[in-house]
Copies of this chain bind each other. A is one copy, B any other.
Amino acid sequence: MRLTDYTDYTLRVLMFCARHPERSVTIAELADSHAVSKNHLMKIVNDLARQGLLQTTRGRGGGLRLLKPAADIRIGDVVRQTETDFRLVECFDAKHNACTLSTHCQLKRVFKTALQSFLAELDKVTLADITRRGTPR
C-alpha cells in the first residue's frame, strides 16, 4: 500500500511553510531542501493555491505563505485532495471492473470502511501538530 510522491511532497511544502510563518518561502528554497525539481513543486504549489491553502506572491520578496493557520489544516483533508485514486481493489474502479464476484461480494464495502477509518485518523491531526518542534509524542 502506497501513497503517491505527490502527496508526500505536498505535505512537505505545507510543513516547510508552517515552520516559517514569519516570512515567505521560495520554490527555489523548497527545491534545494527536498532535492526535487522546481517544475514538480510548481504543480504542487499551484494546486495548493487553488485550494486556498497557499498565497503565492510574485517578484522580489515574493514567495509562498500559508493562507490559513496551520492548526486549521487537517492532514486528512490534504490527503483527500492529493490522492485522487483510492483504488484498493479492482471493483473500486467501476469503469474497468472485470471481477466476476462483484455482485455478491462484500469486499468493496469492507475496504471502504477501512479507508474511512484511515482518513478519520488523519483528520485528528493538523499541520500544526506535525510541525511542532521538540514535542515528540
Q: A-side interface residues toward B, CB under 8 Å?
A: 1-5, 7-8, 11-12, 15-16, 33-35, 75, 83, 85-90, 98-101, 104-107, 109-111, 113-115, 117-122, 125, 129-134, 136-137
Contact of A130 among B8, B88, B98, B107 (CB under 8 A): B107
A119 — nearest CB in chain B belongs to which residue?
Answer: B114
Oligomer copy total = 2
Find A12's partner among B7, B101, B114, B122 (CB 8 Å cutoff): B101
Across the two chains, which residue of chain B brings its CB closest to A130? B106
A11 touches B107 (CB 8 A): yes
Q: CB distance B130 to A110 under 8 Å?
A: yes
B75 touches A110 (CB 8 A): yes
